[in-house]
């Protein structure tokens, strides 16, 4: 682990717009260097999201935040979280400076290490940040790593990512879509209702409400190969959310060798983010209100 003072690595503005900047450094969390403003930002976001997520987040998410002892009064210390996490599922949080290259990210997951950006967004970025920061990573991702099934899914995803990296760019695109629509923006059925488990949703006030209550998006039952063909949005709320019945469903779906799946998908067209197929199990067909006509990735 690096002993140098960690940097705050963020995307850069160029004449072609914002571009991502990648870093591979693993760093100690500089907890003593967080400012009062940093702790206030954490507190504001934590309190706001915990209120919004009442009756919206899956029960495992809330229960596991409580098991960690996450509170609003101060940014958590990674070492405190790791004592609970390592004992429970064998995972650990590691500090990073910003976005990781794909292969580095996969290697961390495959070794049961979850990278958490050490720095937190600025006060003027409370409602939106284009890249992951400490709040997104820690508040959004880490709680479900205490769930043994989800923790195993994340490791399997990392192992699959290393393999996909060796297969080629198209395989990586397919696998990225799976991560996007499950780990980041997934919904789950619980007790007859839809609940949130995706970290990109639970760390966003607006999307926490939109994904469950807006008539605009589609809600469609989980279908892995369908998801791996589906483009998504990085600049707006999602047009479609996919719904699992359990975390075990994720593990069962990802158990087979993906190599023949990538071969099948290579012969099929990608699917627009807002499309509904005849083969879909539709929980709710969205109205499409407010959708941008282009910009799917």
Q: Quickly list DSSP for 107-127.
A: HHHHTTEEEEESS---GGGSS
User: Up-side HSE of residue 164: CA atoms within 13 Å toward CB?
Assistant: 29
Give whole-number Cα distances, 103 to 74, 109, 158, 161, 169, in Å.
32, 10, 9, 7, 12
| 3-state SS, residue 234 | coil
Instruction: Please report which residue ranges of the chain form alpha helices under DSSP H.
Output: 36-52, 59-68, 78-89, 102-110, 134, 148-167, 169-179, 199-202, 205-213, 224-228, 247-254, 259-265
- Of 10, 60, 97, 184, which one is the catalytic site residue? 184
Query: What would the two tokens of residue 265 be?
Result: 């998908």
Is 39 an annotated catalytic residue?
Answer: no
Is 97 among the residues known to form the active site?
A: no
- Name the strand (E) or helix (H) holding 281: none
Instruction: Determine which one of 136, 204, 207, 208 is catalytic.
Output: 136
Closest CA to 42 of 114, 95, 120: 120
Q: Exactly one of 60, 110, 141, 199 is catalytic; which is it?
A: 141
The pair of three-digit structure tokens given for residue 2, joined into one six-digit string: 């690096």
The catalytic residue among 199, 203, 204, 208 is 203
User: Is 210 labeled as catalytic in the residue annotation?
Assistant: no
203 annotated active-site: yes
Q: Are 1 and 81 in contact (CB under 8 A)?
A: no
Residues noted as catalytic? 136, 141, 184, 203
């Amino acid at each position: 682990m690096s002993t140098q003072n960690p940097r705050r690595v963020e995307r850069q503005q160029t004449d072609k717009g914002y571009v991502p900047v990648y870093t591979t450094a693993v760093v100690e969390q500089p907890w003593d260097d967080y400012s009062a403003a940093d702790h206030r930002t954490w507190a504001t976001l934590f309190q706001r999201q915990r209120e919004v997520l009442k009756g919206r987040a899956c029960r495992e998410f809330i229960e596991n935040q409580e098991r960690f002892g996450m509170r609003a009064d101060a940014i958590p210390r990674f070492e405190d979280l790791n004592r609970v996490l390592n004992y429970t599922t064998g995972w650990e949080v590691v500090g990073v400076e910003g976005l990781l290259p794909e292969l580095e990210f996969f290697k961390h997951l495959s070794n049961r290490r979850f990278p958490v950006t050490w720095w937190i967004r600025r006060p003027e970025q409370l409602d939106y940040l284009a890249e992951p920061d400490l709040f997104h990573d820690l508040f959004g991702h880490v709680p479900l790593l205490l769930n043994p099934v989800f923790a195993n899914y994340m490791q399997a995803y990392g192992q699959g990512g290393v393999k996909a990296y060796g297969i080629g760019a198209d395989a990586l695109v397919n696998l990225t879509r799976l991560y996007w629509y499950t780990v980041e923006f997934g919904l789950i059925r619980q007790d007859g209702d839809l609940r949130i488990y995706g970290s990109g949703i639970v760390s966003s006030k607006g999307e926490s409400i939109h994904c469950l209550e807006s008539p605009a998006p589609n809600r469609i039952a989980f279908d892995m190969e369908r998801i791996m063909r589906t483009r998504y949005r990085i600049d707006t709320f999602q047009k479609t959310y996919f719904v699992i019945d359990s975390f075990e469903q994720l593990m069962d779906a990802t158990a087979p060798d993906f190599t023949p799946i990538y071969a099948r998908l290579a012969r099929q067209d990608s699917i627009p983010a807002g499309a509904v197929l005849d083969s879909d199990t539709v929980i709710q067909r969205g109205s499409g209100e407010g959708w941008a006509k282009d910009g799917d990735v």
